Amino acid sequence: MATVDCSTNGEIATLTLNNPDKLNAIDLAMWQQLAASMQRLAKDDAIRCVVIRGAGDAAFAAGGDLEEFVTARATLDQALHYHGEVARALNAIADCPHPTVALIKGACIGGGLEIAGVCDLRIAGESTRFGAPINKLGFSMYPGEMESLLRLAGPAVIKEILLEGRILNAREAYEKGLLTRVVGDEQVEDEAYATARRICSGAPLVAGWHKQWIRRLLDGRPLSEQERADSFAFLDTEDYKEGLSAFLEKRKPVFKAR
């Protein structure tokens, strides 16, 4: 049965897209599980980073489960409902206060690319492949799902992916801005979790604020005076005092998200 599995190791949670018989293709139930898992983790103050990955080495996710489309997405009402659930999952990842890392092996296609695109960081192996060749299937990418990829890589790259239906290799994807880092296939897991541990070593409130301000600045509106003042909310936190004290005392800080 296709599932989204959740496990934790200390401050790091891992969500695994688990449908290996179909290269981790994502069906409607998995989108719903992904949304629910991310919403639950967002409220868990013990978690400081979420890693999203596919089961096995063959694929992060090879898109949506196409066999399901003929029943779950056959009419306008069904399509609106289906993609509303996809949007709920993608928004839950994007809105999560904890940083998110996509650990990418193998194929990262269609819906898999959309999931990776809303993660904060994307660590991929050298043999990974990226694209959304849905022009060959006769349907278009839902605009709400295209938006994050458009912000990430820009219109020229998204047009290349969607109009040509090209599958990019890892180096091309990195050069075009779709990836944070490319490492050897045998190193991708270690590097993704090392990335997560580096995130966890920082102040968690600061990580959440950085995500918030980056997103806010991308909407193009000038900051209000109140927002400028709000950007100094860290001054009243215990973690700020701890960070400065640790620096001056030449020791490792112990942050408590307070």
Half-sphere exposure of 41 (CA within 13 A, CB side): 31
**Residue for token digits 């090879």?**
62
Contact 154, 218 (CB under 8 A): no
Contact, 102 vs 52, CB < 8 A?
Answer: yes
> What does pTM read for this prediction?
0.93
Give dist(CA 213, CA 197) in Å, integer. Answer: 22
Express each pLDDT in 13-42 by its tens digit: 999 999 999 999 999 999 999 999 999 999
- Rounded Cα gap, residues 248 and 159, in angstroms: 50
Task: Kindly indicate the confidence band of residue 230, based on its pLDDT and cuts at 50, 70 and 90.
Answer: confident
What does the pLDDT look like over 184-203, one tens digit per residue? 999 999 999 999 999 999 99
Per-residue pLDDT band for 220 (boundaries 50, 70, 90) equals: confident
3-state secondary structure of 131: strand
